[in-house]
Chain A
């Protein structure tokens, strides 16, 4: 049933595959046109007039004035979220990888629930439980807690899979018989051995945190706004050009940061000897 959908497209294809080509071209246009359109819209004086109205940076400047601080806060939150998931997630991944008990499996299943359950529900639960602690509620820590709960399973999954390697068991045993304490083994042997997985997990957590909206929209206050929250606000209340310019800010600042981190992660993976 589920797989019958793939037949529908591929059934009529040939080795020269005109249908595959057509689909690829059409989808590419559909995916790329809005990106170009929004970049253009953020740089022209008047969107309905188009390029003829002349190019300007004033929308970008206006965005920077009104929403500039959301960029820094989003990046800071993402970094804090990575640190938080590292501290909580890496030891937890180790414990889950080494324990075969039924309760450990059950805990792992529980831990991944925030991914399956929509962010809206998690946000609702956090507000109902902690909303009355107004100092906490009105700080970025409230959003951070939500982001950590949501991203922790990704870190744990990624790192636990790496901890499960058989040769790592032997390596750990060897270090133990040589008299290394658990701290020494963990930081000196285990963590370096799974470092690529830790980097991959961190990258995933960072990306998810920067773009998170479903949860964050519930958790935000007028004084604690992130980039996606600010974007939604500008789309709802500002003119089209400002919304586009804000989107452009996301492209200019966030995407290069993500690209930089991705190539860093690839570099680590390539040079990591096992």
Chain B
């Protein structure tokens, strides 16, 4: 039993050392960097209008995309769980296929749809209208983020809806509950833990998504693009670091809170 005392630390050591050397110390250095330009550098996202706007843009976009994705994802998940039709499994695997696409591909998809040579522009031209391009603005970015988020929500909700208790719903219906009541009192509580966990992940992914916005070279500036520009175009490392820290704290906090609430909800459910 005595050798147990060094056994576990020995198992932990390789990962711990690697993590220390290639993440923790570099990141701590990054965190310390803005201090060199004065403590105010840490708050630049609040004090500088341009960065504040970029952060507000990113937050608003991520919240909007997350909410719409949850609505659409839950609808599709429930639909697929309740129906059996030919090719359902194929459809589900095609809808979740983009999970393995890098964000850049999705940005490119939106260019194919709404870019200068895009499908919508061609269709518009064919019907005698002007060539509509939406890929490089807010709408393009929104659609790209939506495309990026949907497969994750569909996969999660399809699994959760499959596990939903049909008897509960039957019982409610036979007791005369309206559809609205069933949705509110049966579906909603049953899917709440999924919604919380999935929503947090979707939000965090949207906040940090860089590839998609990078490909679209969007006029609507989001924080990852701002960070990248500060770093590469202006070589302003301290500022890039400060903005990265802010972004990191926001995403981490959302995930952390969701996890805490999630486990609380699970504990309540057990009781």
Q: Give me the interface of A with B, judged by CB distance under 8 Å.
A: 2-3, 5-11, 13-14, 17, 19-21, 23-24, 27-28, 30-35, 37-38, 41, 47-48, 50, 87-89, 91-92, 94-96, 98-99, 104, 107, 110-111, 113-114, 116-122, 124-126, 128-130, 145-146, 148-149, 152, 156, 182, 207, 210-214, 217-218, 227-228, 231-232, 235-236, 240, 243-244, 247, 250, 254-255, 258
A193–B101 CA distance with the chains assembled, in angstroms: 32
- B residues near A122, Cβ cutoff 8 Å: 23, 26-27
Closest 3 CB pairs of A and B: A118-B208, A34-B109, A121-B244
Please tell me if the beta carbons of A37 and B108 are within 8 angstroms of each other in the complex.
Answer: no
A37–B147 CA distance with the chains assembled, in angstroms: 15
Please tell me if the beta carbons of A117 and B150 are within 8 angstroms of each other in the complex.
Answer: no
Of B94, B195, B231, which contacts A5 at CB under 8 A?
Answer: B195
Which chain B residues in 66-82 approach chain A with CB under 8 Å? 67, 70-72, 74-76, 78-80, 82
Please tell me if the beta carbons of B208 and A37 are within 8 angstroms of each other in the complex.
Answer: no
Please name 27 pairs of A and B residues whose Cβ atoms are closer than 8 Å in the assembled complex, sorted by A: A3-B196, A5-B70, A6-B183, A6-B191, A11-B180, A14-B179, A20-B75, A23-B76, A24-B76, A24-B79, A30-B147, A31-B151, A38-B108, A48-B122, A107-B12, A116-B251, A116-B256, A117-B251, A117-B252, A124-B227, A146-B22, A148-B22, A152-B18, A213-B102, A214-B209, A217-B211, A231-B108
Of A11, A111, A117, which contacts B183 at CB under 8 A?
Answer: A11
Of A14, A107, A207, A210, which contacts B16 at CB under 8 A?
Answer: A107
Is B7's CB within 8 Å of the partner chain A? yes
Given A31-B94, A214-B224 in contact, is the A88-B252 Cβ separation under 8 Å?
no
CB of B125, distance to nearest CB on chain A (Å): 10
For B122, the closest partner residue in chain A by CB is A48
A5–B95 CA distance with the chains assembled, in angstroms: 21
Please tell me if the beta carbons of B100 and A37 are within 8 angstroms of each other in the complex.
Answer: no
A240–B228 CA distance with the chains assembled, in angstroms: 25
CB of A108, distance to nearest CB on chain B (Å): 10
- Per-residue A-contact encoding for B183-212, CB less than 8 Å = 1, 0 else: 110011001100110010000100111110
Is B177's CB within 8 Å of the partner chain A? no
10 further A-B contacts with Cβ under 8 Å, apart from A6-B187, A113-B27, A255-B100, are A11-B179, A23-B72, A37-B109, A89-B15, A91-B12, A110-B24, A116-B255, A120-B224, A121-B27, A156-B15
Please tell me if the beta carbons of A250 and B105 are within 8 angstroms of each other in the complex.
Answer: yes
Please tell me if the beta carbons of A240 and B117 are within 8 angstroms of each other in the complex.
Answer: yes
Given A214-B211, A240-B112, A258-B100 in contact, is the A235-B14 Cβ separation under 8 Å?
no
- A residues near B111, Cβ cutoff 8 Å: 235, 240
For B178, the closest partner residue in chain A by CB is A11
A92–B27 CA distance with the chains assembled, in angstroms: 21
Given A95-B9, A120-B244 in contact, is the A152-B211 Cβ separation under 8 Å?
no
For A118, the closest partner residue in chain B by CB is B208
Please tell me if the beta carbons of B75 and A9 are within 8 angstroms of each other in the complex.
Answer: yes
Please tell me if the beta carbons of B102 and A148 are within 8 angstroms of each other in the complex.
Answer: no
- B residues near A5, Cβ cutoff 8 Å: 67, 70-71, 74, 195
A77–B98 CA distance with the chains assembled, in angstroms: 21
Please tell me if the beta carbons of B26 and A126 are within 8 angstroms of each other in the complex.
Answer: yes
Please tell me if the beta carbons of A3 and B14 are within 8 angstroms of each other in the complex.
Answer: no
A106–B142 CA distance with the chains assembled, in angstroms: 36
For B109, the closest partner residue in chain A by CB is A34
Please tell me if the beta carbons of A126 and B22 are within 8 angstroms of each other in the complex.
Answer: yes
CB of B75, distance to nearest CB on chain A (Å): 4
Of B12, B14, B75, B195, which contacts A96 at CB under 8 A?
Answer: B12
Is B245's CB within 8 Å of the partner chain A? yes
A27–B56 CA distance with the chains assembled, in angstroms: 28
- A residues near B151, Cβ cutoff 8 Å: 31
Please tell me if the beta carbons of A31 and B147 are within 8 angstroms of each other in the complex.
Answer: yes
Please tell me if the beta carbons of B94 and A88 are within 8 angstroms of each other in the complex.
Answer: no
Of A8, A20, A217, which contacts B214 at CB under 8 A?
Answer: A217
